[in-house]
Chains A and B, each alone.
Chain A
Amino acid sequence: MNLIREQTPPEKFTGYFNVLEACKQNGCPVCTLTEQSIRRHIDNILYENVNDPDTRIALRSSRGMCVSHTDVLLKAGDAFGISILYEDIVREVGSVMTQQSVRALNASRPCPVCQFKLSQENHYIKTFKDHLVRQELQDALKESSGLCLVHLRRVCDHLQDEEAQRWIRALHAEKLETLRAHMREFIRKHEMQYSHESVTEVELQSCVVAINILVGMNA
């Protein structure tokens, strides 16, 4: 496909190669990279920034991490680091309670990991947009599971070229057709007259993949 050939893409850099690598894995490459970054970020907080004043202020103000990032935090499993961070938060909330003020209990900042996540997503979406003219990335995207709907929308919002938008949308429509075919097979094999046919692993996982594609997550 000839995508805006006249435009020269920026130099290849680590982020670009990370995107290429992520395309080889299951699930949306932007989700994969963002989730990896979040895990690294939380590990980094726990191993290096537990005593960093800015990190502590941010977490105190946000009243800890949000529910979804709390799961990542608990999976990191650093009991000692987490106990230092959360003792601080718990003591802060306890002291606010003595003031008997409900309003003071509210968080004054959003979850710091959510903010980090947004910046990472923007970074990878920009990488996608900037390098989509490269045949190498187009081929990698064709071979991948494709972007989730959330990130596809954002990549399309950034693409100026109509031809590029048409190409990426058609590619994902094709991928959805394949997924739907697996789902239809899964449904068919649940019918009594075909129940002797075995359901393949891909068909079994098709519902999970469909949900992940719609909301943007790698289960």
Chain B
Amino acid sequence: MRGRNQHIGWDERLIEGFLSFLSRLGNDAKEAAKPRKKFLGYNDLLELLKDPRCAVCQIKQRSMKHYVATAFIEDVTDGEFRQEMRTTLGYCRRHSSFVLNILPRTLHGMGVAIVYEDILAQVQTILMKTPHENIPEQNNCALCLFESELVDYALQLIGDYCNDAEFQNAYTNSDGLCFPHMRSLCERLSGDSLKFVLNDHQRKLSALATHLSEFQRKNDYRFNDEHITEEEAKAWQTAVRFMAGET
């Protein structure tokens, strides 16, 4: 893909972290096991953990939003970008929904119109040909690829600091990651780091299950004089969001 780094639109601190992550890919395991120097990306992560949403989902959404906005404003007349969009028939269903969500707020509709008119022209040509030519299928969504790189980066960052006391404290006080990202994180961890993440999430899930159970009990007419706390009232949404993650 053309110049992804040019328009990913990350904060400079995130780029710094990403480049550092890439440069470390070739290093041996011993080198990788050394505690990492804390940098701006780390501080950013600590800030994100203060939000009730999953930090990985936040990094992913923020960067993807910037990426899409920049692509439809700056790359509309870029030949390579247009060719890529024609080949892949735009983005996949999940990411198209993401684009539609940010369309009214972030995107300039004209850029989207130019790119998608071009894609439709190609589909129309195929439809008018003989029935033997198959109707094309959306494939290799560029945003899927970008998303997986972002998630890799974010999980690598969290994995690197899992043994750090300051990070552990911030993580314990946060709502943690969503289940899909927590599972992916666990696949990368071992030993004490793995134990820390699993134990921490088990404690969080136990509290969530109690809130859910209390919410149900207090809906019973026998106990409906008992006050439903805010945490209990929103526990059903928290549980659903935790299990599925965010687009």
Q: Which among B30-38, B44-52, B123-131, B148-156 touches the partner chain? A: B123-131
Q: Of A67, A183, A204, which one neighbours B117 at CB under 8 angstroms?
A: A183
Minimal beta-carbon separation of B11 from chain A (angstroms): 26
Q: Mark A98-113, 1 if CB is under 8 A from B, else 0.
A: 1010100110000000
- The answer to whether B131 and A187 have CB atoms under 8 Å apart is no
A-contacting residues, B88-142, CB 8 Å = 89-94, 96-97, 99-100, 103, 109-110, 112-114, 116-117, 119-121, 123-124, 127-128, 130-131, 134-138
- The answer to whether B135 and A216 have CB atoms under 8 Å apart is no
- The answer to whether B247 and A67 have CB atoms under 8 Å apart is yes
A207 at interface, CB cutoff 8 A: yes
- The answer to whether A162 and B131 have CB atoms under 8 Å apart is yes
A-contacting residues, B204-238, CB 8 Å = 205-206, 208-209, 212-213, 215-216, 219, 233, 235-237
Q: Mark A147-184, 1 if CB is under 8 A from B, else 0.
A: 00110110010000010011001101100110110011
B243 at interface, CB cutoff 8 A: yes
Interface size counted on chain A using CB atoms at 8 A: 61
* Chain A interface, >50% SS class: helix
A68 at interface, CB cutoff 8 A: yes
Q: How far is the CA of A112 from the CA of B236 in the complex (A)?
A: 19
B-contacting residues, A129-150, CB 8 Å = 149-150
* Chain B interface, >50% SS class: helix
Q: How far is the CA of A91 from the CA of B103 in the complex (A)?
A: 38
- The answer to whether A211 and B90 have CB atoms under 8 Å apart is yes
Of chain B, the residue at the smallest CB distance from A98 is B202
Since A84-B216, A207-B112 are in contact, a sample of 19 more A-B pairs with Cβ atoms closer than 8 Å, ordered by chain A residue number, is A79-B233, A80-B215, A82-B239, A83-B212, A83-B216, A83-B235, A83-B236, A89-B243, A97-B198, A100-B198, A106-B183, A149-B89, A173-B124, A186-B109, A187-B110, A207-B116, A208-B100, A210-B117, A215-B90
7 smallest A-B Cβ distances: which pairs? Answer: A64-B243, A86-B239, A165-B131, A87-B212, A94-B205, A70-B244, A173-B127
Query: Taking beta carbons and an 8 Å cutoff, which residues of B are in contact with A?
Result: 89-94, 96-97, 99-100, 103, 109-110, 112-114, 116-117, 119-121, 123-124, 127-128, 130-131, 134-138, 179, 183, 186-187, 194-195, 198-199, 201-202, 205-206, 208-209, 212-213, 215-216, 219, 233, 235-237, 239-247
